[in-house]
Amino acid sequence: MAWVLSFALLTALAAKIQVPMWPVPLTLQTAVVLLAGVVLGPVAGAASQVLYLGLGLAGAPVFAGPVAGPGYLLLPTAGYLLGFVPAAAVAGYVSGPVGRRGLGRLVAGVALATAVVFMIGIPWLAVVQNLGYAPALKVGLVPFAPGAVLKGVLVVSIARLLDSRRGRLS
């Protein structure tokens, strides 16, 4: 339970490390989300993100923007945030348990989990901003793709280091 809380709080901290962009800021949150799934496993990783979202929807200032509470669901970033829960689960499930995962499984888990965030975030962005799908891709994916690759490499590197040292946290 302490690790679930820790990753929820790390996600909140990562939200505050950002490059302002329109309509969605570039943050380090997705790196923490992916790492939560890979390190904690699918259930605890997803639970950490449910807790993070719950804190924000309850009004705690954990999101990237200056507001919190249920009204945040009306903002362009909400779809990406909602994608954090299944993304953490996918990262943990696909990467597999320590000792039985190789580099290929880890990369696949991180890549698929990243895709999950975009697959939920971009349609939400399109609806909230009243954009067509192509313009939503242009503002909600294209500027973030290079950063997503870098975050993926970072997460895989950290996970490999942790795997070599101690395995999944419990």
pLDDT, residue 166, reads 66
pLDDT, residue 62, reads 95
Beta bridge partners of residue 19, listed in sequence order: 26
| Strand runs labelled E in the chain | 18-19, 26-27
d(C-alpha 149, C-alpha 13), whole Å: 21
Host H or E run for residue 27:
strand 26-27
DSSP-derived secondary structure for 132-151: -HHHHHHHHTGGGHHHHHHH
d(C-alpha 23, C-alpha 119), whole Å: 16
Q: Are 96 and 41 in contact (CB under 8 A)?
A: no
138: number of Cβ within 10 Å: 12
pLDDT, residue 49, reads 98
pLDDT, residue 169, reads 53
Residue keyed to tokens 């339970």: 1
pLDDT, residue 53, reads 97
pTM to 2 decimal places: 0.92
* Domains, the chain: 2-165 (1.10.1760.20)
pLDDT, residue 67, reads 81
pLDDT, residue 66, reads 79
d(C-alpha 80, C-alpha 54), whole Å: 15
Q: What are phi and psi of 70, to 5 degrees?
A: -60, -25
pLDDT, residue 99, reads 64
Q: Name the stretches of the chain with pLDDT < 50.
A: 170
pLDDT, residue 90, reads 98
Closest to 26 in 3D by CA, of 134, 151, 153: 151
